[in-house]
Amino acid sequence: MFNVSTSVADEGKGKSDDIFVLPMDVTNLESHQACFDKVIAEFGQLDILVNNAGRSQRANWEEIETQVDQEMFNLNVLSVISLTRVAVRYFMAREEGGGHVAVTSSVAGLFGVPFSGSYTGAKHAIHGYFDSLRMEKMHHGLTVSILCPGPVLTNFLSESFTAKPGEKYGVATSSSDRRMTADRCGYLCCVALANSLREVWVALPPVLPVAYMARYFPNFTWMIGGYVGSKYMLKLRDSQSTVKS
């Protein structure tokens, strides 16, 4: 596993025997092979690639400019696919085969989420790509894991895309919000990876039961959704109404 970042910190800073920080811009697809080669040169091999780069979004669907869709897919989809292909080629070239690739998706990749059209579309695309990879390589020993967190207490909301290019949402999360802590989410994701799980959903109630209902009982969910409305779904995510419609 290696740490990728868009920061400008010096390469290798904070290095120890088992940690190597390699700053990189994940949207610069041409740099992926060279960065990957540096990691292999440092450690001699790769056991697992965990893709965790991405941004969320808050916006009314019809107001989203196409450039935002493009920027969202460049970061949340194309960069992930490009780096994963580099890793898969590496794993497939090894005599012993095997290997493990993982990606952080979202419960928004399981069903349509209001006020996050570009983000939801990107996460659905991630599921399509990685499900296809899993089916294609099922007899090659390659493990493919999709991690689907619900609301987590980080600064993601302030950094989220909006409807306009170059704009950040700028709304802060609060420790009083009903969100899983980042530590707990990270721990559960690590458990999932250690056990080579294909897909895992990580969220507090009522988000997790809602996800199960939306996935396995869609008609019933539509009935309930028509009663509670899309604003209720937004409040489940953000603990507040953060988008004016």
Strand partners of residue 153: 181
- CB distance 102 to 146 below 8 Å: yes
Cis preceding-peptide flag for 206 (omega within 30 of 0): yes
- CB distance 196 to 48 below 8 Å: no
Q: Both tokens of residue 64?
A: 């989203």
DSSP state of 1: -
DSSP string, 13-44: TT-BTTB-EEE--TT-GGGHHHHHHHHHHHHS
What is the Cα 140 distance to its own chain's centre? 25
- Return the sign of the alpha-carbon dihedral for residues 115, 221, 216, 203: positive
Task: Compute the residue count for the chain.
Answer: 245
- What is the Cβ-side half-sphere exposure of residue 59, based on CA atoms within 13 angstroms? 24
Collapsing DSSP to helix, strand or coil, 180 comes out as strand
Q: Which of 90, 119, 129, 227 is catalytic?
A: 119
Q: Which amino acid is at 159?
A: E
**What is d(CA 112, CA 106) in angstroms, rounded to the nearest whole number?**
11
Residue 187 is a catalytic residue: no
Residues with a catalytic annotation lie at: 119
